[in-house]
Amino acid sequence: MADFRALHQRGKPCIMVNVWDRGTARLMQGWGAQALATSSAAHAFTLGRPDMGTITRDEALAHAQEIVSAVDIPVSGDFENGFGEAPETCAETVRMAAAVGLAGIGIEDTALPGDDAYGFDLAVERIRAAAAAARALPRDFVLTARADGVLNGTYDLDEAIRRLQAFEAAGADCLYAPMPGDAEDLRRICDAVSAPVNVLTIGGYSAMSAAGLGACGAARISLGSMLARATHLLMKDVAEDMFGDGRFDRLSRVLARSETDMFLDR
């Protein structure tokens, strides 16, 4: 398996594709992905649930283990807030994630199931405990610390940077503040820290190339739930055609079976 940590290079970001089952994992590996991640939102969708705090830790671990078992490239877990407020809960989540074969996880500072952020001191202590657990593991494990306040509208970019700097000092390996306002804001984040920075391809960032994001300082690019949502958009368009005008023409262009079967389990 490739060294997950080594894929994180400032200016030459790896693309970490968020998948939601064995099939999407196998296909993305076959089509060239170097690393994968789970998506809490996409996983929730497969269970008929909305995003944000609707998946249990046991469900997330079982789901992650299924994806890890399907591929031989690194897989990171989108583990929301670590599945609990207490720092020791975050540490235990790290240990359990490593036990199912994950190469790393992300832990955010949102007090799920709402949008409020944990207080600064608690947020840092949670990452410190998780990082200590990661360093005590018998193998390498990449801990990503997320500052989600800009995404959720609970604090501004300056506070996000303050938190990311504190998360780095607490031992986080990768840093992530989803949806900074523009490329200049992303550049500010990357310049404010030494650890690798993840960027989410959403909004205006989806119009930028990997090279362009790298020029801002990004070391990793993730898709979050965007691949699942793009799939859902196609399904919605097909449904509107079928149940509106009775048309099926959007289904006239699909992948040949030979283009998928070569990557799938027999």
Angle formed by the axes of helices 57-68 and 22-30, to 10°?
A: 40
**pLDDT in the model for residue 77:** 98
**CB neighbourhood size of 204 (10 A):** 12
CB 112 within 8 A of CB 44: no
The top-level CATH class assigned to 5-227 is alpha beta
- pTM (2 d.p.): 0.95
Mean pLDDT (the chain) is 96
CB 111 within 8 A of CB 90: no
| Tokens linked to 179 | 């949806």
The domain locations on the chain are 5-227
**pLDDT in the model for residue 265:** 74
**Which residue among the candidates 21, 51, 115, 185 is catalytic per the annotation?**
51
Query: DSSP alpha helices (H): ranges in 104-223?
Result: 120-135, 149-152, 157-169, 183-192, 210-215
Q: Is the pLDDT of residue 86 over 90?
A: yes
pLDDT tens figures, 29-83: 999 999 999 999 999 999 999 888 899 999 999 999 999 999 999 999 999 999 9
51 catalytic? Reply is yes
